[in-house]
Amino acid sequence: MKPLNKKDIKQEVFDLYDAYAHNKLQRREFIERLSMYAVGGITIPSLMSFLMPNYKDTMLVPTNDPRLVSEYITYESPKGGGPIKGLLSKPAKAKDKLPGIVVVHENRGLNPYIEDTAKQAALEGFITLAPDALTPLGGYPGNDDEGRALQRQRDRNEMLEDFIAAFAYLKNHKECSGNIGVVGFCFGGWISNMMAVKVSDLKAAVPFYGGQPKEDIDKINAPLMLQFAGLDKRVNEGWPAYEKALKANNKEYVAYTYPDVNHGFHNTTTPRYDKTAAELAWKRTIDFFNKNLK
């Protein structure tokens, strides 16, 4: 049987996966509903294998890349979950202090995709910190299903404090210039929006398909770049009200919607990945950070 590709799969299957990945469906119900699309030689196991993350073959930065210095560190989060582990990355040959970026994971902890993304940002001339909000529960468990289950056990506002504490860690790091931004994906997109509300000296925020804050929009100081997936009805429905509030408060922002791509289009590890949209969105992100942090 030839491998599946995107053209073989109906949009309803991606919508089902989105519901499953965001805890709207239990695994049993997800599999039961998938069975409706296991036709014409497509089996449920082949669909499941196609939809699940592939970390082995999709990383963009080689392990132990000599251009980088990456190490796991621990920092304190007094209002959050206590000591938090994170991946700290920086260019190996940096001579001057570097602007910083907090890189925020999705709803499943610090998995290889987010670590890879943090390394990509570091290669662009930043010192990056990618925290693992699952640290108080033992850290990312090695697979996304268990990671999602663990993250549901934590209060999201306590996790927000963990990422705000990551900002403080970078702010005080001897190799950081003090100009710090944040980029986050899905849950991390919500964190990025909320850090813009909560952290007065944040210099830039880039939420990828993230939930929107409902209040205190007037407190945002950082310029925003908001990245949306055209097929992501769940997240996009909150954008008009958020944009209205940003305009009413004269906030600096730019928003991009990438047509015909799914929530998670930047994530290289699943078939929701869209190379063209992901590369354009990432170039815009780095250009935005270069403008506002350097």
Counting Cβ atoms within 10 Å, is residue 28 exposed (0-12), middle (13-18) or buried (19+)?
exposed
Q: Note the pLDDT tens digit of each residue in 206-239.
A: 999 999 999 999 999 999 999 999 999 999 999 9
Mean pLDDT of the 73-81 span? 96
Q: Give the closest residue to 164 by CA, choosing from 213, 104, 74, 122.
A: 104
* Average pLDDT in the chain: 96
What's 68-293's CATH class?
A: alpha beta
Structure confidence by residue, pLDDT tens digits, 232-288: 999 999 999 999 999 999 999 999 999 999 999 999 999 999 999 999 999 999 999
Beta strands 253-258; 224-229: pairing state: parallel
pLDDT score for 41: 77
Region 180-209 average pLDDT? 98
Whether residue 37 contacts residue 10, with contact meaning beta carbons closer than 8 Å, is answered with: yes
Helices (H), the chain: 11-21, 27-34, 44-51, 112-123, 144-151, 156-171, 187-198, 233-236, 239-248, 275-293
Q: Which helix (H) or strand (E) holds 91?
A: strand 84-91
Residue ranges of domains in the chain: 6-51, 68-293
Q: For 160-175, what is each residue's pLDDT tens digit?
A: 999 999 999 999 999 9
Residue 58 is predicted with a pLDDT of: 96
Structure tokens at 177: 């210039």
